[in-house]
Chain A
């Protein structure tokens, strides 16, 4: 087996394993037992949190920052395209160029957000080095995934970068790929239970 592919495999196992450990550690904090009577439905709140609650019109923060939202959406779509390409590559199914274009667009989103983080003082103020490392690794991953679709000679570099990304992911803020879900769940359950979400009007 190609040593790089083996490396990606191992890094994937590490990443998944480490995320599981992180998740278990948060689970170890225990569930909060609730005694008050619900006014609404926690499950409806959770459903809302993962559906309409994520729509741009649900949040003032998105309405006020449409460009950041767009860049973020692009970025995440690009990363998922990169992951899809990785899966195809590992299964020996080739690297379709349309996915490559999506990944490249995603990388521009990542670069835009990196620029924002570097040049907007307030955003820099709430950032730590991890934010920059995480962005560079993920942006590099999407960019190289896209480039490889057009210039196959970049494949090795892409796989090396992939290994770095997978190793780093659970160590820094990319762990939000996991913690997004419980967070959103608890958000929905809290507001759902109290009868605040889904909104009445």
Chain B
């Protein structure tokens, strides 16, 4: 477990850098995590549409969406997702959207 200092609030991350408390997520925190965990200085509109979709899906279904759904809903092509999030849809995009770590080999 590690703790990030985000504008004075202590954000707890689990061993793998996922939020311990997914409910504390905000868009500002996502931008902050993007820099800290993914090394992304700037989040583009494409980033945001993917992140917001994942977040919404999580709030509704309590799980990460399929990459199929990410592409279909946001219109971002598959190959572009991997460019947007260097650690991939699971360890990259889902992490920034404040999801807990999915089970299995991700």
Chains A and B touch (C-beta atoms under 8 A apart):
no
